[in-house]
């Protein structure tokens, strides 16, 4: 079962990375952000996203603490990272909205955590995965978790041409003031 989940997780992450690289290289024919936001878009965005996070979660549970990490490291560092990163992600999703988080057009957000990073949700998601890898201490979750983090770090590069097109000078000014990551 672990190998099936690992293959599934790596396939989802790999397809996501490929779509993001394509979108970065060919912004005129991008996959992300979606060129058209319709009824099916949330399914196409959220099903793979939650499936990938679900695979990482389940792999972590299946091989719980097989790395034999210290309790302090797991519960003192890993668990608080997972909690704080979740709070950051869901705080911004609540302000941003599910549709806009999923690629729909909206307004340029520059407040909240967006004052410090142009991509706080991606950073929080990547940090959440790191926290889960520490907390679960599961060797099976590591390759899928790393692949998911790579996808999260590539995503802003695919979005930036679209953001420049959508928000023009406002986004260029924002780019000049606020770093991409931290």
- The mean pLDDT value for 107-123 works out to 95
Tell me the per-residue pLDDT of 18-67, one tens digit each, with 9 for 90 and over: 999 999 999 999 999 998 888 898 888 889 999 999 999 999 999 999 99
Instruction: Please enumerate, as own/partner, the contacts of 53-56 that have beta carbons within 8 Å and a separation of 24 or more.
Output: 53/129, 53/148, 55/5, 55/6, 55/8, 55/9, 55/12, 55/144, 56/9, 56/129, 56/132, 56/141, 56/144, 56/145, 56/148
Residue pair 144/10 in contact (Cβ under 8 Å)? The answer is yes
Residues of the chain above pLDDT 90, percent: 85
Query: What pLDDT score was predicted for residue 38?
Result: 87
More reliable by pLDDT, 97 or 70: 70
Tell me the per-residue pLDDT of 143-167, one tens digit each, with 9 for 90 and over: 999 999 999 999 999 999 999 999 9
- The mean pLDDT value for 174-180 works out to 97
Q: Is 39 helix (H, G, I), strand (E, B) or coil?
A: coil
Give the domains, in start order, of the chain with CATH numbers: 2-177 (1.20.120)
Query: What pLDDT score was predicted for residue 101?
Result: 83
Query: What pLDDT score was predicted for residue 167?
Result: 95
Query: What pLDDT score was predicted for residue 175?
Result: 97
Tell me the per-residue pLDDT of 89-104, one tens digit each, with 9 for 90 and over: 999 999 888 888 888 8
Q: Phi and psi of 178, rounded to 5°?
A: -125, 135
136 vs 114: CA distance, rounded Å: 29
Query: What pLDDT score was predicted for residue 15?
Result: 97
More reliable by pLDDT, 132 or 41: 132
Query: What pLDDT score was predicted for residue 79?
Result: 98
83 vs 79: CA distance, rounded Å: 6
The pTM of the full predicted model, rounded to 2 decimals, is 0.94
């Amino acid at each position: 079962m672990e190998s099936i989940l690992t293959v599934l997780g790596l396939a989802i992450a790999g397809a996501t990375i490929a779509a993001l690289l394509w979108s970065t290289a060919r912004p005129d024919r991008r996959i992300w952000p979606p060129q058209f936001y319709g009824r099916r878009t949330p399914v196409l965005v959220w099903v793979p996203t939650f499936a990938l996070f679900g695979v990482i979660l389940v792999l972590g549970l299946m091989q719980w603490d097989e790395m034999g990490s210290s309790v302090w490291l797991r519960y003192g560092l890993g668990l608080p990272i997972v909690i704080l990163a979740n709070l950051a992600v869901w705080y911004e999703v609540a302000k941003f909205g599910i549709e806009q988080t999923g690629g729909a057009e909206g307004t340029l957000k520059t407040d909240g955590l967006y004052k410090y990073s142009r991509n706080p949700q991606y950073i929080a998601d990547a940090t959440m995965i790191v926290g889960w890898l520490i907390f679960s201490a599961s060797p099976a979750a590591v390759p899928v978790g790393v692949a998911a983090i790579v996808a999260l770090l590539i995503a802003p590069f695919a979005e930036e041409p679209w953001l420049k097109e959508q928000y023009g000078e406002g986004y260029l000014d924002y780019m000049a003031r606020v770093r991409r990551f931290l």
